[in-house]
Amino acid sequence: MTLKQKGISRRQLLAGSVAAGAAFVVGAGFVAAPTAAWAMEVSHLQPATMATLIQMARDIYPHDHVADEYYAAAVKGYDTAEAAPGIEAGITALDAAARGKGHPSYLGTGWERDRVDILRGMEESAFFQAIRGGLVTGLYNQKAVWPLFGYEGESYSKGGYIDRGFNDINWI
């Protein structure tokens, strides 16, 4: 959801938030992009927890041409009363693992390779596997993500590709 849709100005957003790592700002009940391009309300998770989860999602399936809001959408489903305790515990463990490697927190770990190193250390955990497994559909099954990969989805409504390039490559 964009800030415009939420009725919050960028000024209001930044006034009520603190930076969480480089990519996010968090405030009371929300996570947002520093650019204010998007913001997400959270009801059950701590905003900082959601920010960390979004970063973790990107680090598991990093696509530089896919904006954070799609990763945020992929993990938004964990913001429920049922899921929140497990996520808070998992992110607490993730931050502890980051501190164990000399970083202030997971979000405070500057280089992707260092964050990936932290994730490799917990790759077999149920928490990591649940987040990774959920992302396979949570991220890649978002129809809004498909065009970013060139994938066109269904074509039946357009009459298939028989007249629309099923055999159109000419470099072979």
Partner 1 sequence: MTAPFELTDDSVVVVIGTGAGGGVLANELAQKGVSVVALEAGGRYLPEDYVNDEWESFGQLAWLDKRTTSGDWRVARDFSGLPAWIVKAVGGTTTHWAGASLRFQPHEFKTKTTYGNVQGANLLDWPIDLAEMEPWYEKAEAKLGVTRTGDRAGLPGNNNFKVLEAGAKALGYKEVHTGRMAINSADYDDRLACQQTGFCFQGCKWGAKWSAAYTDIPRGEATGNLEVRERAHVLKIEHDASGKVTGVLYADKDGNQHLQNARIVCVAGNSIESPRLLLNSASAMFPDGLANSSGQVGRNYMRHMTGSVYAVFDKPVRMWRGTTMAGIVQDEARHDPSRGFVGGYELETLALGLPFMAAFLDPGGWGREFTTALDSYENMAGMWIVGEDMPQETNRITLNHDALDQYGLPAPNVHFDDHPNDVAMRAHAYRQGIAIYEAVGATRTFPTPPYPSTHNLGTNRMSENPRDGVVNRWGQTHDIANLFVSDGSQFTTGAAENPTLTIVALAIRQADHIAGQMSQGTL
Q: Which is nearer to partner 1, 16 or 134 (CB)?
A: 134
Among 29, 62, 77, 104, which residue interacts with partner 1 (rule: CB under 8 A)? 62
Span near partner 1 by CB under 8 A; candidates 44-52, 82-90, 91-99, 162-170: 162-170
Helix, strand, coil shares of the chain as percentages rounded to 5? 50, 10, 45
154: which DSSP letter? -
124 binds partner 1 per the rule CB under 8 A: no
Q: Which of 29, 37, 31 is nearest to 10 (CA)?
A: 37
Instruction: Rule CB under 8 A: say whether 5 interacts with partner 1.
Output: no
Closest CB to partner 1 among 10 and 63? 63
Q: Indicate whether 81 belongs to the interface with partner 1 (CB under 8 A).
A: no
* 51 sits near partner 1 (criterion: CB under 8 A): no
Give me the residues paired with residue 130 across strands: none
Is residue 100 a contact residue for partner 1 (CB under 8 A)? Answer: no
The nearer residue to partner 1, 11 or 65, going by C-beta atoms, is 65
**Residue in 18, 37, 126, 136 binding partner 1, rule: CB under 8 A:** 136
141 near partner 1, judged by CB under 8 A: yes
CA angle 95, 96, 102 (to 5 degrees): 90
Residues 6+ apart with CB under 8 A from 158: 164
The phi and psi torsions of 20 (rounded to 5 degrees) equal -125, 100
